[in-house]
Amino acid sequence: MKNHVAVGVDGSAESRAAARWAAQEAALRQVPLRLVHAVDWPLDPVLPGVGRPDMDRWADEALSEAARELGRRHPDLEITTRCPKARPAAALAAEAADAALLVLGSRAVGGLVGFLVGSVALSTVVATDTPVVLVRVADDPDGPGTGAAADVVVGVDIHEAGDRVLAFAFEEAERRGCPLRVVHGWKMPPAYAYVPFFDPENERDIGRSVTHMVDDMLLPWRHRHPGVNVTTGVFMGSAGERLVQASQGAGLVVVGRHLRRSPLGVHLGSVAHAVLHHAAAPVAVIAHA
């Protein structure tokens, strides 16, 4: 049964932050936590004199240290460890297939660049249909503004089937006992670019129509989760930019990505890409049709 939370651990500050976040999430869900460290044997040793026993011992120590720390924070949490021998992205994707949620770390690089989502994390995100959460070092669950009681923010698209995205967001808000902020960005139809005299009332009419469509989309979920306080933000412009703005002080940002593949491979999507690299909160990526 896919009920546990899995987290990638490699001894880095990013993975420690991800492990703390994952432990808190597992405690909220009342499910076990699995710590995973993938050991990928290079064809040639990276460091002279460092052999497989040394790498195995380092991996065991990283897992043991993380398990001890999390056990002190959450004494009632069931914690297990795994150390598969495979490339990290493949090993983590395999672990995700057996989990309800996979948590990974990402690194802040500062300035306009935002956050570095490494090749392992990106490869894992697009290789699984299990929800994946990316956590930053600053997203310490014990710190202000990123704990379980902070808002959950979700981006929706009225043109997409977003049931999996909304289900995840509503369930997270419900178990955390926090408000849910729904964000939707829309654009004027392309034909309006050729209208010489544009009536601003048309924009207001379209905005009201889109708002009604978002409300209709949310109605069944409000009924299923009556205890969740939901607010909506419908605006004309970039959904990615608004979600990044809304991430300030949020506990979690939820975005979707398409399961379908293009001839060039898996397409993450511009909104998910922007949020993953610039949101100031943990980001959950939910695969949907």
> Which pLDDT score is estimated for 44?
44
Tokens linked to 269: 């999507």
**31, 74 contact by CB (below 8 A):** no
pLDDT at 56 over 60: yes
Q: What is the chain's length?
A: 289
Domains observed in the chain: 1-138 (3.40.50.620), 143-289 (3.40.50.12370)
The arithmetic mean of pLDDT across residues 163-176, rounded, is: 96
- 3-class secondary-structure state, position 155: strand
Structure tokens at 259: 């399961």
Q: Which amino acid is at 163?
A: D
Query: Of all residues in the chain, what percent carry a pLDDT higher than 90?
Result: 46
Return d(Cα 215, Cα 219) in angstroms, integer. Answer: 6
* Average pLDDT value for residue range 112-119: 51
